[in-house]
Structure 1
Amino acid sequence: MTGNQIEALIGMLVTFGLLVLMVLPSVIGIVRDRRIDRQIREAQEGGGTGKETQKSSSRSTVPSTATWYAEGRRSKKLVSS
């Protein structure tokens, strides 16, 4: 191979590599969307394995500190006005 042929080969490989890097995020997004769509469709049909079903907890939920703080701030505003 001559120097020009090697240079052309390297140029083509770099161009192909850049093309792959630009297309890869789109392909990953499409595959992810299709997987999510399939999961939604399975959930709507009621089919699926036990690991996808959500288990309810017997423990009561406690609001987070941020929720508690926001509720307190709202009530103070209502009282003061």
Structure 2
Amino acid sequence: MTGNQTEALIGMLATFGLLVLMVLPSVIGIVREKRVDRQLREAQEGEGVRKKTQKSSSRSTVPSTATWYAEGRRSKKLVNS
């Protein structure tokens, strides 16, 4: 192998290495996005199954004391303004 061939090989390897370094973050991002999309899709499917099998409560829901207090404070602020 002559000196020119060696230099050409080193140049091609360096160019290929730079290309890999530039493309690698994009590939990693695409793989991560696909994984997140798959997890979200599985969670939505599981949620749909849970909603179908979930029993409704016979008790009526009553707002907590904190909710009553917050509503009173909001209405007082509107009157005072």
**What interval of TM-score do these two structures reach, taking the shorter chain for normalisation?**
0.5 to 0.7
Alpha-carbon offset, residue 9 of structure 1? 0.7
| Number of aligned positions between the proteins | 61
Once residues 39 and 22 of structure 1 are traced to their aligned partners in structure 2, the CA distance between those partners, rounded to angstroms, is 26
Deviations 1:21-53 (A, max 9, x none): 12321221121111111122123224xxxxxxx
Name 1:44's counterpart in structure 2: 48
Name 1:54's counterpart in structure 2: none
Identity %: 23
User: Gapped runs of 5+ residues in structure 1?
Assistant: 47-60
Q: How does 1:12-27 map to 2 (within 5 A)?
A: 12-27=16-31
Q: Which amino acid aligns with 1:77?
A: K
* Larger CA Rg, structure 1 vs 2: 2
Once residues 43 and 17 of structure 1 are traced to their aligned partners in structure 2, the CA distance between those partners, rounded to angstroms, is 40
Query: Which one has a larger percent helix, Structure 1 or Structure 2?
Result: 2
Provide TM-score, normalisation by structure 1. 0.55
User: Which stretches of structure 1, 4 residues or more, deviate above 3 A after TM superposition?
Assistant: none
Greater RCO, 1 or 2 (C-alpha within 8 Å, sep 6+): 1
User: Gapped runs of 5+ residues in structure 2?
Assistant: 51-63
1:79 counterpart = 2:79? yes
Relative distance call for 1:9 and 1:62 in structure 2 (3 A) is: farther
Provide TM-score, normalisation by structure 2. 0.55
